[in-house]
A and B are shown apart, each in its own frame.
Chain A
């Protein structure tokens, strides 16, 4: 574990957390991106992409609209990759993904806490806001931004701390590891397909989804 670039991982996990909703939303929070880059930082991009790719299947089921509540897979994926890197990924993938899923759910809860903290700040500054005082919206906005920085940094620390603890435990055997990999990939495929069907909505788009599936299967067969 001492070989892990901890500072770089904490920084990257924090950036990925901020990208969930507060800053840019420029794909940095996507598990495949967060995992691929984390794998690159650790020196095991193959594991990073496999773990990030598996968690991406779950993220593809999320439609982050309005006030919907959804997991935050950014820092969670970085921690999952830190756990799974350096191991043969067909057997390490499952447990790493479970770590990512658990942390992702915790991350989703912290996003709700952050929004409630924003609401408290809003209530505190409400009289000034209702008077139309200059600078109040920016002040509230900066409070929100600082709050999300704390949230994302805290998640990064929690995730990597949890991984440090897990790495002290004995590893599971290859048979259990492979069974977990099948379970998590199955869950991921169910999430990905369910999300695609719901997003499609119309018969026309479902036809496009079916055409894509046929094209994918054909290209795989011709490989």
Chain B
């Protein structure tokens, strides 16, 4: 199998070897290994490159291919080891922030908001299947693009990244995610509360309360799942004690 294809497959499982010490470091090293094969198996250069490739690293997993490509290109070009490590450190934060903004705060909430509204309208399953297929095709394409982008630009990747349209795209999808989630809130509330007139009043009260609590705890988030579990168990105990 072609080294790039093997690197690509390993990138799709990047976080399987995640640790709290090196975060994605081992995953990055596993993805870089096929790309470093031209350096040989036992040469000092190959060994040094493999040691560097397993150092601490953390970025958004979908954009980590950019780092894998760029770092591998730099190793193959014989760049100084310290410069390569500096590039590694320099890429970690921006690729994390950019990807988090684009995917976790933008695309994923937007897609889930659309799927929630579709479910409320009775078309959930079709929309979900279509969304998952489309999202995964795009996820694979962007990982492959990142790998090619990194391999093409090597040590110059940070500068090239600054000129790419990814940043503008991230801002745009962030706004889209916020809008879609906002639009989904009333639909979801009414759907899950049953859709009666009484549900409308309950939904308005719950959404207003939700915004109140959300704004009051914006800096110190509450453990909502734990609180909900506790409240649910209290309700169960109350009913059992009465029956």
Contacts and interface: CB of A to CB of B under 8 A. Distances in A.
A63 interface: yes
Contacts of B98: none
Nearest to A146: B16
A223 B228 CA distance: 31
Interface in A104-159: 104-105, 115-116, 118-119, 122, 129-138, 140-141, 143-145, 148
A21 interface: yes
Given A24-B139, A179-B235, A205-B175, A193 B207 contact: yes
A189 B179 contact: no
Contacts of A39: 125
A26 B239 contact: no
Contacts of A200: 178
Nearest to B48: A132
Given A66-B58, A211-B182, A98 B229 contact: yes
A176 B224 contact: no
Given A23-B13, A26-B132, A183-B232, A104 B225 contact: yes
B178 A194 contact: no
B202 interface: yes
A203 B162 CA distance: 24
Contact of A60 (B22, B96, B112, B226): B112
Given A22-B13, A23-B12, A134-B42, A140 B26 contact: yes
Contact of B192 (A50, A118, A145, A204): A50
B139 A194 contact: no
17 contacts: A53-B191, A94-B232, A95-B236, A101-B225, A122-B19, A122-B22, A137-B32, A143-B17, A180-B232, A196-B182, A199-B177, A209-B179, A213-B182, A216-B117, A216-B183, A219-B183, A220-B190
Given A131-B51, A172-B239, 17 more contacts: A33-B115, A40-B125, A49-B119, A61-B224, A65-B96, A66-B23, A95-B232, A101-B229, A122-B26, A137-B50, A144-B18, A179-B235, A188-B228, A189-B206, A191-B228, A208-B179, A212-B182
Interface of A: 21-28, 30, 32-33, 36-37, 39-40, 45, 49-50, 53-54, 56-61, 63-67, 71, 90, 93-95, 97-98, 101-102, 104-105, 115-116, 118-119, 122, 129-138, 140-141, 143-145, 148, 172-173, 175-176, 179-194, 196-200, 204-206, 208-217, 219-220
Interface of B: 10, 12-13, 15-23, 26-27, 29-30, 32-33, 41-42, 46-51, 53-54, 58, 61-62, 96, 100, 104-105, 108-109, 111-112, 115-117, 119-120, 124-125, 128, 131-132, 135-136, 139, 174-194, 202, 206-207, 209-211, 213-215, 217-218, 221-222, 224-229, 231-233, 235-236, 239, 243
